[in-house]
């Protein structure tokens, strides 16, 4: 076997060595007897030069190389050289390859857009426009129609590294806190979150649903003495809302745990978890964050644990220019963002918990407060004033649950086995559901959830 080298490993230390790389043609310039190629492997780039000296490289070979289309995959054999001047625009700027052999492995068809255009920041386009220059950009629909190509840009490569990191930190932190990973069914009999936002399907002749969350099943796991559980899995919502933050399928990071005295025990875990996520990203993934910021400028968000009650949040909004806000209603996007700005100014954190929501705006399984059932032991968590988590202490008595489901208009027959699971003794418990795409979107200050979903599903998109 021959030894393959990674483009990102090409450095001065390999000077005069012959290496073999498999990479894409990022760019090509031909000039008479020579050709200058930029080879790209994921986000690493290096210049490769062919010169027709009629000894190792023929004129035919130079011509062959310049005719390989952009984004094609090539195998290149070359000698590592140290150029007189650094090669600006390449990540491996201290070296270049003197090509001794090149072969197209997989040729790319004509591109629907140029990757350099897809990788350009809005700021760059604006600045150029001010100079009277027009730079091409690529619209979101065209990007998403060709997502397999769009995903090759440096910012996208970094976004999905960050997404992977959030999942890893989620798992590792919860495992260290004594949680166990579980997997619950996605084909289920009834709506788990109620309402109309459910995909219905036929299950061997029986009406069924795609799970709107692992809610009912993670609770049944608690009833089965699993004590502390988490799940990372797809969540389906038939929400016909075409917004910057709603998907029809997203990744749910769920957790559920038995509690002893107070739902604050869940909030303690959530704060520990997000402390670890914020910390881990800012330290271990600083490089990826910088790459994302090059295309989509943002400031790394600040984290300080902060818990406000819902009434406290309402008071902040009332004092902060929203005197008419309904103290018992849910917060809309505008109010949430406004609260986020007020909190940032007053407490200096982009992350906060709002708890003790009015019962009327929470799901049927939410535990009301003992001192005032108009409120509930529930919470939402925000980054930059947008919701990333919702959760609560749950009702753990079958009779009370039946009563609440009935009051909320949930057909009992579809959730009977869930209700039954509380008949044989169930510990007090609570948990939360985190939207993975929202966490990455809001952490990175991105303006659209489609940017953090690899192949987004929204009311208008089912392909690719």
Residue with Cβ nearer ligand 4AD (288 or 387): 387
With contacts defined by CB under 6 A, how many residues of the chain interact with ligand 4AD?
Answer: 22
- Sheet-wide strand order for 386-393: 180-181, 228-236, 249-258, 429-435, 386-393, 378-383, 351-355, 307-309
- Sheet-wide strand order for 206-210: 187-188, 206-210, 200-203
- Min. distance of Cβ 423 from ligand 4AD in angstroms? 22
DSSP-derived pairing of the beta strands 249-258 and 206-210: unpaired
In 104-235, alpha helices (H): 115-118, 122-130, 140-145, 147-150, 154-176, 215-223
β-partners of residue 229 are: 180, 256
Residue with Cβ nearer ligand 4AD (358 or 391): 391
Angle between helices 436-443 and 264-284 (to 10 degrees): 50
Segment interacting with ligand 4AD, rule: CB under 6 A, options 33-41, 90-98, 264-272, 388-396? 388-396
Segment interacting with ligand 4AD, rule: CB under 6 A, options 90-98, 163-171, 243-251, 275-283? 243-251
Residue with Cβ nearer ligand 4AD (198 or 392): 392
Per CB under 6 A, 251 contacts ligand 4AD = no
Segment interacting with ligand 4AD, rule: CB under 6 A, options 15-23, 128-136, 244-252, 305-313? 244-252
Residue closest to ligand 4AD (Cβ):
435
Residue with Cβ nearer ligand 4AD (154 or 391): 391
The catalytic site residues sit at 237, 239, 245-246, 387, 390, 438
Interacting residue with ligand 4AD among 23, 335, 389, 426 (CB under 6 A): 389
Cα–Cα distance between 318 and 313 in angstroms, integer?
A: 9
Segment interacting with ligand 4AD, rule: CB under 6 A, options 49-57, 305-313, 352-360, 386-394? 386-394
Per CB under 6 A, 217 contacts ligand 4AD = no
Contact string 266-305 vs ligand 4AD (x = CB under 6 A): ----------------------------------------
- Within 33-92, the residues that bind ligand 4AD by CB under 6 A are none
The one-character DSSP state at 319 is H
For residue 226, the tally of other CB atoms under 10 A from its CB is: 16
- Min. distance of Cβ 458 from ligand 4AD in angstroms? 9
To 10 degrees, the CA torsion angle through 68, 70, 72, 75?
A: 70
Are the C-beta atoms of residues 105 and 75 closer than 8 Å to each other? yes
Give the SS3 label for residue 120. Answer: coil
Q: In the chain, what's the furthest Cα-to-Cα distance?
A: 89
- Residue environment code for 28-43, b if the CB has 16+ CB neighbours within 10 A, otherwise e: beeeeebbbbbbbbeb
Interacting residue with ligand 4AD among 433, 443, 444, 451 (CB under 6 A): 433
Contact string 441-460 vs ligand 4AD (x = CB under 6 A): --------x-----------
- Cβ neighbours of residue 200 closer than 8 Å, sequence gap 6 or more: 207, 208, 209
- Min. distance of Cβ 157 from ligand 4AD in angstroms? 22
In 146-197, alpha helices (H): 147-150, 154-176
Segment interacting with ligand 4AD, rule: CB under 6 A, options 27-35, 77-85, 138-146, 382-390? 382-390
Interacting residue with ligand 4AD among 246, 304, 307, 457 (CB under 6 A): 246
Q: Which own/partner contact pairs does 451-454 have at CB distance under 8 Å and 24+ positions apart?
A: 451/156, 451/159, 451/296, 452/159, 452/163, 453/247, 453/250, 454/147, 454/151, 454/160
Cα–Cα distance between 378 and 204 in angstroms, integer?
A: 37
Residue with Cβ nearer ligand 4AD (22 or 246): 246
Cα–Cα distance between 265 and 415 in angstroms, integer?
A: 27
- Min. distance of Cβ 128 from ligand 4AD in angstroms? 34
- Min. distance of Cβ 171 from ligand 4AD in angstroms? 17
Contact string 161-200 vs ligand 4AD (x = CB under 6 A): --------------------------------x-------
* Dihedral sign for Cα atoms in the order 224, 229, 234, 237: positive
**Which residues of this chain interact with ligand 4AD, rule CB under 6 A?**
193, 213, 215, 237, 239, 246-247, 250, 254, 387-392, 431-433, 435, 437-438, 449
């Amino acid at each position: 076997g021959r030894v393959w080298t990674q483009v990102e490993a090409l450095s001065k230390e390999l000077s005069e060595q012959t290496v073999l790389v498999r990479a894409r043609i990022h760019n090509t310039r031909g000039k008479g007897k020579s050709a200058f190629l930029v080879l790209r492997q994921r986000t690493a780039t290096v210049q490769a030069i062919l010169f027709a000296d009629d000894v190792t490289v023929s004129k035919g070979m130079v011509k062959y190389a310049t005719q390989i289309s952009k984004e094609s995959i090539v195998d290149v054999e070359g000698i590592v050289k140290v150029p007189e001047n650094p090669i600006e625009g390449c990540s491996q700027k201290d070296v270049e390859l003197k090509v001794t052999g090149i072969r197209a492995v997989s040729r790319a068809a004509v591109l629907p857009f140029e990757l350099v255009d897809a990788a350009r920041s809005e700021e760059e386009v604006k600045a150029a426009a001010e100079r009277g220059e027009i730079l091409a950009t690529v619209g979101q629909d065209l990007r998403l129609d060709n997502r397999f190509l769009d995903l090759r840009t440096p910012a996208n490569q970094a976004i999905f590294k960050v997404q992977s990191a959030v999942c890893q930190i989620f798992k590792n932190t919860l495992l260290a806190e004594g949680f166990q990973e579980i997997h619950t069914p996605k084909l289920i009999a009834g709506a788990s979150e109620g309402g109309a936002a459910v995909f219905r399907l036929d299950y061997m002749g029986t009406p069924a649903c795609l799970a709107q969350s692992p809610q009912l099943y993670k609770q049944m796991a608690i009833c089965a003495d699993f004590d502390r559980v988490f799940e990372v899995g797809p969540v389906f919502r038939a929400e016909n809302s075409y917004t910057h933050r709603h998907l029809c399928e997203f990744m749910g990071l769920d957790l559920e745990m038995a509690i002893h005295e107070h739902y604050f025990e869940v909030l303690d875990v959530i704060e520990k978890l997000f402390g670890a996520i914020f910390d881990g990203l800012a330290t271990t993934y600083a490089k990826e964050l910088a790459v994302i910021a090059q295309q989509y400028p943002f400031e790394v968000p600040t984290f300080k644990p902060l818990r406000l009650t819902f009434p406290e949040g309402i008071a902040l909004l009332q004092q902060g220019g929203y005197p008419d806000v309904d103290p018992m209603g849910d917060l809309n996007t505008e109010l949430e963002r406004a609260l986020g700005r007020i909190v940032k100014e007053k407490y200096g954190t982009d992350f906060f918990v709002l708890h003790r929501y009015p019962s009327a705006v929470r799901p049927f399984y939410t535990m009301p407060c003992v001192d005032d059932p108009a409120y509930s032991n529930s919470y939402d968590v925000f980054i930059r004033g947008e919701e990333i988590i919702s959760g609560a202490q749950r009702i753990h008595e079958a009779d009370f649950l039946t009563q609440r489901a009935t009051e909320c208009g949930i057909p009992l027959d579809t959730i009977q086995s869930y209700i039954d699971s509380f008949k044989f003794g169930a510990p007090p418990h609570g948990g939360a559901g985190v939207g993975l795409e929202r966490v990455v979107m809001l952490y990175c200050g991105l303006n659209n959830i489609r940017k953090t979903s690899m192949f987004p599903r929204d009311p208008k998109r089912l392909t690719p």
